[in-house]
């Protein structure tokens, strides 16, 4: 696992967007796994700026969703499908055909989950998966004690996650669904490259447990330790509880430039 400590969220977004630009240069039709929430926004802003500035051609890129609420009506502005279309797909100038996601309004949720795992595999698998992290260490919507081998499935959100997400629903927790579809941890680990961005002091404990703690279902993000190509990008605040912070800084400062992200 590589840990990159950056001064702030904007710099984190830039580092990851540069890595995505390199990937799209090597593989123009790469499948990018995208996360929602506040943290990844600087990545998308940096990426969109590159495309709009003409330094990056993302016209053949494909985008896959990480998770979704269950039960919101199709087209609800806070469904993750609507959010990803608004924040990533449309500003990159991609069409909906370039976008893969689970059907959160399906009658048969389990069938929708299985179908999504199949669709990801049929698309050739995710090349680079962007991840945020919850204050409880969740990735996607894999809450603590999710199986480290889990596949895409329905999960029940913790009260804390519903409280955290109420800001997207007029600060009204009653509007936040209890259930979600999320790529499982086993599904996420199949992506060729995992890139987790964490910013702010509120994430410092979860980051320390993820990077320096044991691999444990209690901290779902710790499963990144099992992946051969995992990158954790953190700002100074989110890095503040890392015992090996100086080592990570030293390693990154001396990284051979040919290695890329």
Q: Any idea which residues carry the catalytic annotation? A: 67, 136, 138, 143
Measured distance CA(87)–CA(96) in Å, rounded? 13
Instruction: Please state the closest distance from residue 198 (CB atom) to ligand PGA, in A.
Output: 8
Alpha helices (runs of H) in the chain, residue ranges in sequence order: 9-26, 41-53, 80-84, 109-122, 159-165, 185-188, 204-212, 245-253
184 binds ligand PGA (CB under 6 A): no
Tokens of 93: 């100038």
259: exposed, middle or buried (Cβ count in 10 Å: 0-12, 13-18, 19+): exposed
Cα(15)–Cα(13) distance, integer angstroms = 6
Give me the helices (H) in 95-244, please.
109-122, 159-165, 185-188, 204-212
Is residue 38 at the binding interface for ligand PGA, with CB under 6 A as the rule? yes
Tell me which residue has its CB nearest to ligand PGA: 37
3-state helix, strand, coil in the chain (%, to 5): 40, 20, 40
Q: Which is nearer to ligand PGA, 27 or 241 (CB)?
A: 241
**Would the CA dihedral through 236, 9, 209, 21 be positive or negative?**
negative
Q: Are 178 and 156 in contact (CB under 8 A)?
A: yes
Residue 37 binds ligand PGA (CB under 6 A): yes
- In whole angstroms, the minimum distance from the beta carbon of 139 to ligand PGA comes to 7
Which one of the spans 36-44, 81-89, 214-222, 248-256 is the region binding ligand PGA (CB under 6 A)? 36-44
Give the residue with the Cβ less far from ligand PGA, 34 or 133: 133
Kindly write out the interface string for residues 68-107 of this chain, putting x where it contacts ligand PGA by CB under 6 A and - elsewhere: ----------------------------------------
**Residue 39 lies near ligand PGA (rule: CB under 6 A):** yes
Question: Residue 98 or residue 146: which is nearer to ligand PGA going by CB?
Answer: 146
Shortest distance, position 239 Cβ to ligand PGA, whole Å: 16
Verify binding: residue 134, ligand PGA, rule CB under 6 A. Answer: yes
Q: Which is nearer to ligand PGA, 12 or 19 (CB)?
A: 12
Binding site for ligand PGA (CB under 6 A): 37-39, 132-134
């Amino acid at each position: 696992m590589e840990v990159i400590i950056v001064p702030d969220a904007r710099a984190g977004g830039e580092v990851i967007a540069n890595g995505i630009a390199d990937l799209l240069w090597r593989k123009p039709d790469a499948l990018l796994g995208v996360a929602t929430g506040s943290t990844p926004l600087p990545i998308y802003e940096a990426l969109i700026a590159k495309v709009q500035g003409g330094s990056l051609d993302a016209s053949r890129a494909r985008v896959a969703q990480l998770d979704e609420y269950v039960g919101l009506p199709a087209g609800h502005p806070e469904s993750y499908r609507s959010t990803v279309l608004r924040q990533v797909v449309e500003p990159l100038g991609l069409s909906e055909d370039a976008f893969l996601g689970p059907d959160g309004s399906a009658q048969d949720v389990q069938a929708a989950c299985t179908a999504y795992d199949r669709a990801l595999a049929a698309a050739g698998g995710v090349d680079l998966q962007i991840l945020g992290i919850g204050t409880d260490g969740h990735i996607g919507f894999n809450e603590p004690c999710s199986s480290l081998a889990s596949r895409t499935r329905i999960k029940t959100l913790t009260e804390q996650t519903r409280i955290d997400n109420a800001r997207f629903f007029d600060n009204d927790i009653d509007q936040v669904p209890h259930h979600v579809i999320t790529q499982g941890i086993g599904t996420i680990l199949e992506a060729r490259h995992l890139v987790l961005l964490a910013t702010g002091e509120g994430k410092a404990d979860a980051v320390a447990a993820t990077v320096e703690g044991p691999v444990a279902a209690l901290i779902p993000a710790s499963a990144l330790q099992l992946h051969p190509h995992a990158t954790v990008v953190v700002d100074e605040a989110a890095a503040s509880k890392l015992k090996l912070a100086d080592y990570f800084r030293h390693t990154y400062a001396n990284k051979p430039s040919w290695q890329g992200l």
